[in-house]
Structure 1
Amino acid sequence: MLPERLNSPESTALWLTVAALGAWHGLNPGMGWPLAVANGLMARRAAALPGTLLPLAAGHLLAMAVVLLPFVALGTLLAWQREIRIGAGLLVVAYGAWRLIDRRHPRFLARVRPTQLVLWSFLMATAHGAGLMLLPFALGLCMPAASAGLPAAGLAVAGVAAVHTGAMFATGLVAAWAVYRWLGLKALARSWIDLDAVWGASLVLAGAASVAVAL
């Protein structure tokens, strides 16, 4: 059982933010839904869309957990919870600022084979700081659980990562279906929007929000 505070009315806004960030990640083409469209068009069947997005979601889920768990585990050090949240927020701000300055995509991602979707999604989410963007809000939900010990902290992280990834999968599937069913990849290429600046700004805002709440 999760601590009662984790399911209290006060945590509703944080849960909604976790889900909203998942939706934002799902809509971002950089998280992989164009791969689902490409596979669907090549296979000429809509079933290829969720079949591609499921391993992408699995990789995203792992990336969230790998980033969140160490910080939440540190929450067992009750006397340092405030400093941990401030430090995490500053880390997110710094990474977001770096993403705004350097928008190049990591070259090693190009060497991952198209069949390794889970690995590709894990590396992509990690390289883009997707887990870091979620971190400030996840800490607000998971720190109470961390005070009950590492098993409770792990359960809290799993819950947050699952809600976030579920929203990511749902919105990614909607985006992929819309392009597959009505627009096609050519229309996507013509109307492509560079979201790198928006992504970097989102990281900065998430980190600043964490620091402001912790102070």
Structure 2
Amino acid sequence: MANATLWAGVVAIGLYHGLNPAMGWPLAVANGLGQRRGAAVFGTWLPLGTGHLLAMALVLVPFTLLSWLLQWSSEIRLAAGSLVLLFGVSRLLWRRHPRWLVRVRPSQLALWSFLMATAHGAALMLLPILLGLCATPAASAPTGAFDHEAVMQLMRTGLVTALVVSLVHTAAMIGSGLGLAWVVYRYLGLRALRATWFDLDRIWALGLIVSGIAAISLSAH
């Protein structure tokens, strides 16, 4: 049940990221309008998804490779939670965006997606959930003498978990993002783009802060 709840969190955060215009669905709409065909909206899924996936893995994989340090697991969670919390506070206080990020050619979508997900700390929201998944049965083994095989097994398990979390999260993000892009392209038009661009920044920052507080709280258990 605990694992199911954590995986549901991975999907929920992915859906939220997809609906946030900062993660790229307005560019999918613009691509469709520029080429005047609906298929062009969905043609952006590969570059946007690739960039987002790389941004997730770049943060999640290093933390899971540290999961074998079981005797310091609380400290690792505390450090991760503090990082998420501080980044959330910084996003809440400093909300400027480089103007060049708004004008992106189709050939730059993957790089744009990677930079935006990284700049917004998208993967940091997943850290508390990922550390919870890494702490379930395999990582709860006793921490006595150094056991090389056990350590390698934990690292392999953590690496696979990080990659699966990144893939599941990105799939949810692309699904919700392109779904919304299609609705805007087909029914709502450019007015929706002007009304929604970057309007979720404050909620995004608050989400980071909540995730950080949750990780810090769990580090004491």
Task: Percent identity, please.
Answer: 56
Question: Is the counterpart of residue 100 in structure 1 residue 92 in structure 2?
Answer: yes
More divergent stretch after superposition (192-201 vs 58-67)? 192-201
CA 63–81 in structure 1, closer or farther in 2 if over 3 Å, else same: same
What is the alpha-carbon root mean square deviation over aligned residues? 1.9
1:188 to partner: Cα distance = 2.8
| Residue in structure 2 matched with residue 140 of structure 1 by the alignment | 132
Deviation at 1:112, TM superposition (A): 6.5
Give unmatched runs, 5+ long, in structure 2: 140-150
- Structure 1 counterpart of 2:21, from 26, 29, 38: 29
187, 197, 207: which one aligns with 2:212: 207
TM-superposed CA distance for 1:53, in Å, is 2.3
SS in 1 for 2:189: helix
Cα deviation code 1:137-174 (max 9, x no counterpart): 11111344666332222111111111111110110011
Distance 1:59 1:190 in 2: 25
1:192 & 1:153 partners in 2: Cα distance?
36
Distance apart, 1:114 and its partner CA: 4.2
Q: Which moved more, 1:140-149 or 1:11-20?
A: 140-149
Superposition deviation, residue 189 in structure 1: 1.2
In the alignment, which residue of structure 1 is the partner of 2:186?
Answer: 181
* Distance in 2 between residues matched to 1:67 and 1:106, nearest whole Å: 22
Of 178, 193, 202, which residue of structure 2 is paired with 1:197?
202
- Give 2:176's match in structure 1, choosing from 161, 171, 174: 171
In the alignment, residue 174 of structure 1 is paired with which amino acid?
Answer: G
Check the 8 A contact 2:51/2:113 in 1, yes or no.
yes
1:106 deviates by: 4.2
Contact 1:92–1:207 under 8 Å retained in 2: yes
C-alpha distance in 2, partners of 1:113/1:192? 17
Deviation at 1:108?
6.8
- Looking at structure 2, the residues matched to 190 and 79 of structure 1 have their Cα atoms a distance apart, in angstroms, of 49
Matched, 1:158 2:139: no
CA distance in 1, matches of 2:27, 2:116: 13
Deviation readout 1:84-120 (Å, 9 max, x if unpaired): 0111001100000000000012467468754121111
Counterpart CA distance in 1 for 2:97 and 2:130 is 26
Q: Which protein has the larger Cα radius of gyration, Structure 1 or Structure 2?
A: 2
Q: Does structure 1 conserve the Cα–Cα contact (< 8 Å) formed by 2:59 and 2:124?
A: yes
Match of 1:82 among 70, 74, 82: 74
Map 1:17-96 to 2 at 5 A.
17-96=9-88
Give yes or no for contact 1:106–1:127 (8 Å, CA) kept in 2: no
After the TM superposition, which of the residue ranges 82-91 and 140-149 deviates more from structure 2? 140-149
Q: Identify if the C-alpha distance between structure 1 residues 190 and 99 changes in structure 2 by more than 3 Å, giving closer, same or farther.
A: closer
Using the TM superposition, give the Cα deviation of residue 193 of structure 1 relative to its aligned residue in structure 2, in angstroms.
Answer: 6.5
The TM-score normalised by the length of structure 1 is 0.89
